[in-house]
Amino acid sequence: MLSEFQKIKHLYSRAAFGLAISDLPIKTILQAHISQLLSPKNYTSLSVISKSEVEAIKSEAKNKGKEVKVEARKMLKENIVELNETWMDEMVNSSAQLQEKMALFWHGHFACRVPNPYFMQQYLEIIRKNALNDFKTLLFEVSKTPAMLQFLNNQQNKKDHPNENFAREVMELFTLGRGNYTEDDIKEAARAFTGYGFDINGLFKFRKNQHDFNSKKFLQKTGNFNGDDILNIILQQPKCAYFITKKIYAFLVNDEDFDESIIQNLANKFYQSNYDIKILLADIFKSDWFYAEKNVGNKIKSPTELMVGMFRIVPTTFDKSISRLYIQRTLGQVLLNPPNVAGWKGGKSWIDSSSLLFRMRLPQIIFYDKELGIEPKEFTPEMGAPKMKYVDMYVKNIASKKLLAKPNWGNTVNYFSNEDNSWNKIEACLLVKNIDANTTKIVQQQVDVSTKENKIKSQIIYAMSLPEYQLG
């Protein structure tokens, strides 16, 4: 049975990105932490680029030479990189941890990538703002973002030439899942979404002249439906609540051992609450089964969870901002650039022979300034090549053999130096599950004991290098 502190540590590994050094020491009142996570007070809107800046860049390149156009594209791509880095900083530093964690979930659920940084910023703000609200609002707003409409080709969905891509993914990936609709439903939904697009200002626009106003039959209902009607009909299906609940359960609880009775009970309450995300999350975090042994330390951290968790314990900056993008790409999760509309697979897919080696060496590469010694994977068409080939360009032309990190050890060393046996404290705070005596012995044999400060630093680095640290 877990102690109260162990439950809190597990809660923060799932509902946040792990404990931060600023969180320690932590009051051992579980319910207080659940309430705090569910009611964030310091949510911060991100604003990296304005619509006018994007338009100015595009205008400068219009009707100009090839070199100017290449430079304009480069500037837009750099803005997306800046948005990526700004969001990761927010994940590290924000007190609204659950909000950012669920935004990461929704980013994988409503997977989207486009080269326009203003569109991506709009999309990111919507999933961050609505991450803890109700799923209906989130679904409606995401479905009308220029980023999603462009990514899934609904700008080309017209009454005389319906494009089924958007309608298909809305049902297959966003709401119902395969087997809960027919091909005819897709065709009819596509007709309903005709005319859904956006204007030059990046605002949703219903183009009446391109909309099919004829009657449609969708999920056994008949009427002169538009896209909003389709989404409302979908939300009326209990299977939609079940589909979303199961995905959230996999993300927060267990992605291999599904307790169908628990998921169904959660889904029923989620449906009855009109898709209130906070109610669903509260039901999960307040349950006894969430803290059961089979659900603790059983999930492989995503690359984002791994990186953010490390930086919450040891705040870190880099000489080259592109360094974090290098890490993301090498580990296989570049924020704002999911591999496809299905998002990242997660689970065991995070681990292969190359990425596991890099994950284990990452703490030493960052905090000991070790050489990388590994090349990131080449971008494939599935990962967004060639449109997102700029990442490769940056990595090859800018990233050095060392990441040139600047860790701020001050508060971290001070906290762990207050006890004679710093290792026990480090193990308790950083690892979800305790390690065996042999592993502890091996770690202690490698620790730098030249000074008390170096001892603490090396103990933290080796703790983060353990296989157990890969699990959350």
pLDDT at 398: 46
Helix (H) or strand (E) holding 217: strand 216-218
- 54 found inside a domain: no
Same domain, 365 and 448: no
In a domain, 67, yes or no: no
Tell me whether the omega of the peptide bond preceding residue 40 falls within 30 degrees of 0, making it cis: no
- Secondary structure (DSSP) of 331-347: HT--TT--SSTT----G
H helix intervals, 39-182: 51-61, 66-93, 97-109, 117-129, 135-143, 146-151, 165-169
- 426 shares a domain with 455: yes
In degrees rounded to 5, what are phi and psi of residue 318?
-130, 145
CA distance 436 to 405: 31
pLDDT of 383 reads: 46
Residue ending a domain, choose from 391, 407, 423: 407
What distance in Å separates the CA atoms of residue 94 and residue 71, rounded to the nearest whole number? 34
For residue 302, which amino acid is it? S
Same domain, yes or no: 330 and 393: yes
SS3 state of residue 283: helix
327 falls within a domain: yes
182, two tokens: 């027919």
Same-domain status, 352 and 377: yes
Candidates 206, 152, 200, 194; CA nearest to 174 is 152
- Looking at the structure, tell me whether residues 375 and 308 fall in a common domain: yes
* Residue finishing a domain among 247, 268, 295: 295
From the list 290, 314, 278, 274, the residue with the least C-alpha distance to 457 is 314
Amino acid 353: pLDDT: 78
What three-state secondary structure class fits 318? strand
Q: Are 331 and 306 in contact (CB under 8 A)?
A: yes
The count of domains in the chain is: 3
Do residue 248 and residue 260 come from a single domain?
yes
Q: Is residue 134 part of a domain?
A: no
Rounded CA-CA distance 386/366 in Å is 29
196-198 and 204-206 as β-strands: parallel, antiparallel, unpaired?
Answer: antiparallel
Q: Is residue 341 part of a domain?
A: yes
Check whether residue 258 and residue 312 sit in a common domain.
no
Cα angle at 104 between 271 and 400, to 5 degrees? 170
d(C-alpha 170, C-alpha 165), whole Å: 9
Q: How far is it, in rounded angstroms, from Cα 364 to Cα 310?
A: 12
Residue type, 245: T
Residue where a domain stops, chosen among 379, 407, 435: 407
Residues in the chain: 472
User: Domain check: are 324 and 369 in the same one?
Assistant: yes
For the segment 34-82, what is each residue's pLDDT rounded down to a tens digit?
A: 999 999 877 788 988 877 877 776 666 566 666 666 666 778 788 898 9
pLDDT at 370: 61
Tens of pLDDT along 245-277? Answer: 999 999 999 999 999 999 999 999 999 999 999
Same domain, 396 and 415: no
pLDDT for the residue numbered 102:
98
Torsion, CA 430, CA 258, CA 99, CA 31, rounded to 10? -70
pLDDT at residue 386, as a whole number: 46
In this prediction, the residues of the chain whose per-residue pLDDT falls under 50 are: 379, 381-388, 390, 398-400
> Could you tell me the two tokens for 46?
């991100």
One domain for residues 387 and 307: yes
171 in any annotated domain? no
Q: Does residue 376 share a domain with residue 288?
A: no
DSSP 164-197: -HHHHHIIIIIIS-TTSS-HHHHHHHHHHTTTEE
Question: Would residue 280 count as lying in a domain?
Answer: yes
Question: DSSP letter at 45?
Answer: -
- Which residue range forms the structural domain that includes residue 268? 4-39+237-295
In a domain, 386, yes or no: yes
Residue 193's DSSP bridge partners are none
Q: What is the chain's mean pLDDT, rounded?
A: 89
Are 285 and 357 members of one domain? no
What is the rounded distance in angstroms from the CA atom of residue 192 to the CA atom of residue 167? 9
